[in-house]
Amino acid sequence: MTTVNWWKTLRAVPSWVYPATLGVFLLVLPALQPGYSVTRQVELTLILALIVSGLNLSLGYAGQLAIGQVAMYAAGAYTAGIIAVAGVTDILVQLLAAGLAALVVGIVTGIPGLRLGSWSLAMTSFFLVLLVPDIVSIFEEHTGGQLGLSGIPGATLLGFELTPTHFYLTVVTVTILWFAAFRNIIASRHGIAFQVLKQSPVLASSVGMSVFRVKLSGYATGAIPAGLAGALFANLDLFVSLEAFGFHVATGALAASILGGSVSVYGAVLGAAVVEYASSQSDSFQEYSLVFFGLFLLIGGVLMSGGVAGVARTFVARLDRAAGLAGRGPSKAGDGEAIHRIEGGLLDATGVSKAFGGNQVLTDVSLRAEPGRVTALIGPNGSGKTTLLNLVCGYYRRDAGEITLDGTPIRTAATHRIARLGVARTFQTPLIPPGITVRDVVASGRYTVEGTSFAGAILRTPRFRAIQRRDRQRADEMLRLVGLEDVADTEAATLPLGMRRMLEVARALVAEPKVLLLDEAASGLDEGEVETLAGVIRRIRDAGCTIILVEHNFGLVLSLADEIVVLARGSVLASGTPSDIANDPRVRDEYLGASDADVRPDDSVTEPAARQETP
């Protein structure tokens, strides 16, 4: 069998088979009689892997800069130990209580930190780790204080006492179940939402996501496996002491995350295995653990970008290309692809003004965009075009004036709420999260259209599967519309600029918005790509959507727009039909830098759409 055929055979195997095989091996390991030292090493590795997985979820995927998992780990351990001493020895009850305790700690500490910003969260979580000894001392009567919590009775399961082998199987089973849940979360729309948020909070809010809620859900969910790890640790030696929750443990978990790959589900196991094995080999490692962990961070974060998992993904991508499994190039935009009727909205901006400090960016600007029409907003750089779009979307608060959508005032609503009202947009620089496919990027635009719970994602309920199918179906329709269906399974961030701009249009359109704001969507496109974009915009307009087009390509604007508003120095210079604007001497002088002698009255109206003219 050739190398190519061998690789195709391996890639045909579902990806979940490989971790499942490892899980089965760990479950049958006691039958091989490996000895106590080996099984204990596995238990400690899996406990650390649970902590690291929570860090991967909150930091690697959701992008929340925090190292507070050790505090959640301590909360789970002491909670399990305390209720065990009180007589509740059932391991299932302890796991539930420990997980809830860690979740509460995550929510209570996450709310203020996330409100203030990422660095505030980092400091909050750092001090949380430092506060663990003080909190333990305050409740010394229950926790044992500096002496540790001893006298923990052996765990039971449904009334039966767990032998060492049974407890080992419990640790493995809990870890398998958590990682299955972790994988299902990351492979769901919630996992995609985390990565969208990590790429840009602005992007997340533009597709209707509540930035704070998504941040908090990522941070708090990452606390749960640390709590489970704490409950298992408390029952491992039936003793809990502060030494297990020091700063070196937090650093070790971070090193394991970076080394294995923080944007990886199963990289947490690999990183934990390396760190735990190294820690158990000599007393010197324990003494200089921070130095060694620093080396692991350098190796995983600098020498191997993305850790071992990142290296593996790069290697797999090369083999895929060699075997011809990589995505094909873009196809022609689907000229015959039907677009569902879109109920456009009437957007009306009246007397809008905005200043930043002493700089007056917009002064008494009015604009009316109607359904089924393209309203173009043009003007020189710095004239306030993008600022006006940002005011519509809620990124800025206007100083004066009113903006309404279908007669309903858009006052100071949060950006994500305005998006949910039906306002979608693209950006001057395409915002495309790395590590996810083209299809998933488009599907992320439907995150708030139909809601699913984390429990539904974990358990793959019928409702979740139905919504997932609709997400995929609508995403594929939009990809056919913009001619990207043949690269649907390609990593989106690797696409060239022109394709990424078309991808942003597809993402903005997938939720069928009332108003679509296109901010210089043709910038950097070649002639063929501009023609494709123009065709897509016409079909979106004909479907009934309200389109506001900010664009420097004057030929494209004249070929597409039904109404043009010209801004100059923050004020409306002129407005009217393309013919009116093309023949307005003030526009030629201000926007095109041409005089009456340079431009014949009708030249601009008939010039090719692909011609790029800069102000």
Give the pLDDT confidence score for residue 589 in this predicted structure: 74
The per-residue pLDDT for range 198-252, each reduced to its tens digit, is 989 999 999 999 998 998 899 899 999 999 999 999 999 999 998 888 878 888 8
The per-residue pLDDT for range 254-281, each reduced to its tens digit, is 888 888 888 999 999 999 998 888 777 6
| Residues 377, 359 within the same domain | yes
When pLDDT is averaged across residues 152-168 and rounded to a whole number, the result is: 94
Give the pLDDT confidence score for residue 609 in this predicted structure: 34
Phi, then psi, of 546 in degrees rounded to 5: -85, 125
DSSP 511-569: T--SEEEEESTTTT--HHHHHHHHHHHHHHHHTT-EEEEE-S-HHHHHHH-SEEEEEET
| Residues 81, 230 within the same domain | yes
- Is the pLDDT at 290 greater than 90? The verdict is no
Give the pLDDT confidence score for residue 471 in this predicted structure: 94
Q: CATH number, domain at 602?
A: 3.40.50.300
| Residues 114, 193 within the same domain | yes
Give the pLDDT confidence score for residue 205 in this predicted structure: 93
- Is the pLDDT at 334 greater than 80? The verdict is no
| Residues 91, 237 within the same domain | yes
| Residues 265, 381 within the same domain | no
Give the pLDDT confidence score for residue 227 in this predicted structure: 96
When pLDDT is averaged across residues 328-334 and rounded to a whole number, the result is: 62
For residue 464, being part of any structural domain is answered with yes
Pairing of strands 515-519, 546-550: parallel
For residue 615, being part of any structural domain is answered with no
| Residues 526, 441 within the same domain | no
111 pLDDT tier (thresholds 50, 70, 90): confident
The per-residue pLDDT for range 122-133, each reduced to its tens digit, is 777 777 888 888
The pair of structure tokens assigned to 221 is 């969910």
For residue 612, being part of any structural domain is answered with no
For residue 217, being part of any structural domain is answered with yes
For residue 354, being part of any structural domain is answered with yes
* Residue 264 or 289, more confident: 264
- Is the pLDDT at 557 greater than 70? The verdict is yes
Report whether 365 contacts 349 (CB < 8 A): yes
| Residues 480, 514 within the same domain | no
**Calpha distance 257→186 (Å, rounded):** 16
Using DSSP, state whether 383 is helix, strand or coil. coil
Among 288, 322, 356, identify where a domain stops: 322
For residue 504, being part of any structural domain is answered with no
The per-residue pLDDT for range 386-428, each reduced to its tens digit, is 999 999 998 898 999 999 999 888 876 688 999 999 999 999 8
| Residues 38, 130 within the same domain | yes
| Residues 234, 193 within the same domain | yes
Domain count for the chain, please give it.
3
73-87, 99-113, 293-307, 566-580: which has the minimum mean pLDDT? 293-307
Q: Which domain holds residue 446?
A: 434-494
**Calpha distance 119→262 (Å, rounded):** 19
The per-residue pLDDT for range 335-389, each reduced to its tens digit, is 555 577 889 999 999 999 999 988 899 999 999 999 999 999 998 888 899 999 9
The per-residue pLDDT for range 434-465, each reduced to its tens digit, is 889 999 999 999 998 888 889 999 999 999 99
For residue 332, being part of any structural domain is answered with no
For residue 613, being part of any structural domain is answered with no
Give the pLDDT confidence score for residue 326 in this predicted structure: 63
**Calpha distance 221→106 (Å, rounded):** 8
| Residues 557, 457 within the same domain | no
Q: CATH number, domain at 149?
A: 1.10.3470
**Calpha distance 430→546 (Å, rounded):** 21
Query: Percent of the chain, pLDDT > 70?
Result: 88
Report whether 207 contacts 448 (CB < 8 A): yes
Query: Percent of the chain, pLDDT > 90?
Result: 52
Report the predicted TM-score, pTM, of the whole model to 2 decimal places: 0.87
| Residues 224, 360 within the same domain | no
24-28, 81-85, 378-382, 506-510: which has the minimum mean pLDDT? 378-382
| Residues 314, 406 within the same domain | no
